[in-house]
Structure 1
Amino acid sequence: MSDASAGRNGVALTERQKISWLRLIRSDNVGPIAFRDLINHFGTADNALDALPELSRRGGTRQTYRVASVSEVERELEAARRHGAVFVGIGEAAYPSALRQIDGAPPLLAMKGDLSAAGRPSLGIVGSRNASVSGAKFAAMIALDAGRAGYVVTSGLARGIDTAAHRASLETGTIAALAGGLDRPYPPENVGLLEEITAGRGLAISEMPFGWEPRARDFPRRNRLIAGISLGVAIVEAAHRSGSLITARYAADFGRLVFAVPGSPLDPRCHGTNDLLKQGAIVTTGPDDVIEALAPLSQLELPLPGVREPDGQARAGVPVSASDRDRVAVSTALGPTPVEIDDIVRHAGLSPAQVYLLLLELDLAGRLDRHAGGLVSLATPE
């Protein structure tokens, strides 16, 4: 959608639009990419909400499709108000500017604390939960110097390295990305730390609903937020198959800098970071390694893309149609192996607009998996 009139300050959602956006993202199988495609196709969230059940039916769902109700989202908005939080849309000024640039950025974020923190360049710092004393000290040293250099430090509120990074940047500004709702911080022992963050120059953010207890599958989404918000991510002590390495992979996918602190090959907590160095991560033996590499990026003026509804009258939906034969062609082109959407377009002999509509139908029916790099595959039955 065009953003020529948005300006550098973004466009604020009306209260009605915010309710509709929240209803849309809280409806069944509507993730950030489906949300964007729905707005782009139908013009407004209200139009998209009306179309959801039929789109899901065409995609092959065999159960009643759930559209989030007005009362449901009004309860969530009231919960946000009680907790001193607000919802910020992707086109609004307070939305983190670097996060806007990634494919599938959350259309709405729940935010609590100093909203200006989201507008400053960020460094992500993550690492082992069972950190060593030296690892926690080094993470705090990077966070402290980065904060003095003007960066907000973003991390995940976890034990160990995350905690050290947050504490060292309380005075200069830190962002805590949560895996659950803002009212369900994890781990419980960091509730006090979170209160310190939001009461000072820091910010707590989440894309999950209020009341949502974090599950194992939610933490990679949290890691994606950390990587998306940050210009670079520093990894301090990460074992093989750790969540910190997921953050590093996201950062690399988003074109962010990845810093890794070398460690002893005899310490399992350092195996992941040492592997990152073999793969080309920036060797980090002091805060200057990070600050000097980030300096050119922090001066960039980022554009203001993102999902946004037009002012005034809602525009009509794009006149794209597809037949049952077209649906068969797209479903046949898909399989369990992720493929590029352009390859589906060529294989099925359809227009890109038709393919995107048919993928949206499958997505809403829970029959599509989306992967990094814009790849898609048929969902595997659970």
Structure 2
Amino acid sequence: MTDGARKQGIALSERQRIAWLRLIRSDNVGPVTFRDLINHFGSAETALTMLPELSRRGGAARAIRVASMADAERELEVARRHGAAFVGIGEPDYPPLLRQIYGAPPLLAVMGNRAVAAAPAVGIVGARNASVSGMKFAGLIARGVGRAGYATVSGLARGIDTAAHRASLDTGTIAAMAGGLDCPYPPENADLLREIADGQGLAVSEMPFGWEPRARDFPRRNRLIAGMALGLVVVEAATRSGSLITARNAADFGRLVFAVPGSPLDPRSEGTNGLLKEGATIVTGAEDVLEALRPLAEPDLFVAARTGADEPDDGPPPLAALPPSEDERARVVDALNLVPTDIDDIIRHTGIAAPTVYLVLLELDLAGRLHRHAGGAVSRAPD
């Protein structure tokens, strides 16, 4: 990967970066909502001025909180003190494969060697209560793919994640975090995080600085791991584990899923053996991974998309220029229930133009009355 290829993209201005940070930190604005707002209003600054009106039209019970300029500037300053920065989805240092997934974070907090993000990567995940042999094998895989020019991606957790990170400190590793970059979990991996950031590695998070990770934050972390990697290796995993959630994410994103077989008597192998039954590629050494990924590791996959700095790509149709009528809004609301529904089905059912349907959904989302699901489906939020 040449530096010239990696450096494609358009950098945000400082003013744009502050506006993006304010928008993504405002109430009810997630990655998909962020994209829809930018597509409709053309810039984060304009979208910020419209949030209260859109939320009111969606039936919000209270005024929406819009992140202030002071809040954003404070977070940027905290990032600088930690040697970190925020990278936008259209910028050169944003992980190129992550950009391709549905609902990719518009801004990532990054700390460390940003060049690592441009390398092809292999995700390695597994049990926190890993066996000694499982951790040893994870290290062998990490060293093997590292020598072949791949970075590793994992979640900084105990067990398999820790073994994978430590084995690839010299060749490049990416730690995806569930909390802020200043809040590593588990806390005993704070030294490992510093080794990663100070060496040939990178730490990334979509959460604010100071954010202590909660259980519901780890699925977002798992999406980052799956989204940044060409393939995912699961070394040990129980039948109900975050590693299997990461594997499902990887499959949904079109990534290759690998699993290490284990004893049927070990609960830590139930998940990996199950993945093999479902069609995952068996792994008995790093060469298995490298051979399967070789046809995919083409340079063009790792060239940053040429998108405008304030125009995330792959969005829905442009939103309606005029506010929806009360009748149109009521028909869209009536078409929703608690079951996830494809937006195309809502458009066909109501007969309302797609831009108007998207705008109604955006209003409902900002009012806290809509849930978004994987693949773009939506449902009504419970009363």
Q: Which residue of 2 aligns with 1:264?
A: 263
Over 3 Å counting, the alpha-carbon distance change for 1:352 and 1:7 in structure 2 is farther
Q: Deviations over 1:339-372 (max 9, x none)?
A: 1110000011111111111111111111111111
In 1: Cα distance, 2:145 partner to 2:124 partner: 10
Query: Does structure 1 conserve the Cα–Cα contact (< 8 Å) formed by 2:8 and 2:306?
Result: no
Q: Which residue of 2 aligns with 1:72?
A: 71
Query: Does structure 1 conserve the Cα–Cα contact (< 8 Å) formed by 2:6 and 2:93?
Result: no
Q: Which residue of 1 aligns with 2:309?
A: 308
Number of equivalenced pairs: 371
For 1:136-175, list aligned pairs within 5 A.
Answer: 136-175=135-174
Please report the TM-score for the alignment, with normalisation by the length of structure 1: 0.95
Q: Which residue of 2 aligns with 1:63?
A: 62
Query: Does structure 2 conserve the Cα–Cα contact (< 8 Å) formed by 1:8 and 1:304?
Result: no
Say whether residues 1:332 and 2:334 are aligned partners.
Answer: yes
Q: Which residue of 1 aligns with 2:314?
A: none
In 2: Cα distance, 1:65 partner to 1:338 partner: 25
In 2: Cα distance, 1:320 partner to 1:168 partner: 56
Q: Deviations over 1:164-213 (max 9, x none)?
A: 00000000000000100001111011000011001100000000001101
- Which runs of 5 or more structure 2 residues have no equivalent in the other structure? 312-317
In 2: Cα distance, 1:14 partner to 1:76 partner: 16
In 1: Cα distance, 2:120 partner to 2:102 partner: 19
Q: Deviations over 1:88-140 (max 9, x none)?
A: 00000000000000011000000000000011111000000000011101111
In 1: Cα distance, 2:240 partner to 2:308 partner: 34
* Structure 1 counterpart SS, 2:258: strand
Q: Which amino acid aligns with 1:17?
A: Q
Q: Which residue of 2 aligns with 1:356?
A: 358
Query: Does structure 2 conserve the Cα–Cα contact (< 8 Å) formed by 1:107 and 1:307?
Result: no
In 1: Cα distance, 2:168 partner to 2:6 partner: 31
Over 3 Å counting, the alpha-carbon distance change for 1:79 and 1:13 in structure 2 is same
Query: Does structure 1 conserve the Cα–Cα contact (< 8 Å) formed by 2:134 and 2:235?
Result: yes
Q: Deviations over 1:251-280 (max 9, x none)?
A: 011001100111111111111111111111
* Structure 1 counterpart SS, 2:346: helix
Q: Which residue of 2 aligns with 1:313?
A: none
4+ aligned runs moved over 6 Å, structure 1:
none
In 1: Cα distance, 2:212 partner to 2:67 partner: 19
Query: Does structure 1 conserve the Cα–Cα contact (< 8 Å) formed by 2:319 and 2:359?
Result: no
Q: Which residue of 1 aligns with 2:381?
A: 379
Q: Which amino acid aligns with 2:124?
A: I
Moved more, 290-299 or 316-325: 316-325
Say whether residues 1:25 and 2:28 are aligned partners.
Answer: no
Q: Which residue of 1 aligns with 2:290?
A: 291
Q: Deviations over 1:59-93 (max 9, x none)?
A: 11101210000001111000000000010000000
Q: Deviations over 1:224-269 (max 9, x none)?
A: 0000000111001100110001100110110011001111111111
Q: Which residue of 1 aligns with 2:225?
A: 226
Q: Deviations over 1:305-359 (max 9, x none)?
A: 667326xxxxx98624311111111111111111111000001111111111111
Query: Does structure 2 conserve the Cα–Cα contact (< 8 Å) formed by 1:100 and 1:306?
Result: no
- Which runs of 5 or more structure 1 residues have no equivalent in the other structure? 1-5, 311-315
Q: RMSD of the TM alignment (CA)?
A: 1.6
Match of 2:343 among 322, 336, 341: 341
Q: CA deviation at 1:300?
A: 4.8
In 2: Cα distance, 1:80 partner to 1:7 partner: 23
Query: Does structure 1 conserve the Cα–Cα contact (< 8 Å) formed by 2:20 and 2:44?
Result: yes
For 1:82-101, list aligned pairs within 5 A.
Answer: 82-101=81-100
What is the identity percentage for the equivalent residue pairs of Structure 1 and Structure 2? 67
* Structure 2 counterpart SS, 1:297: coil
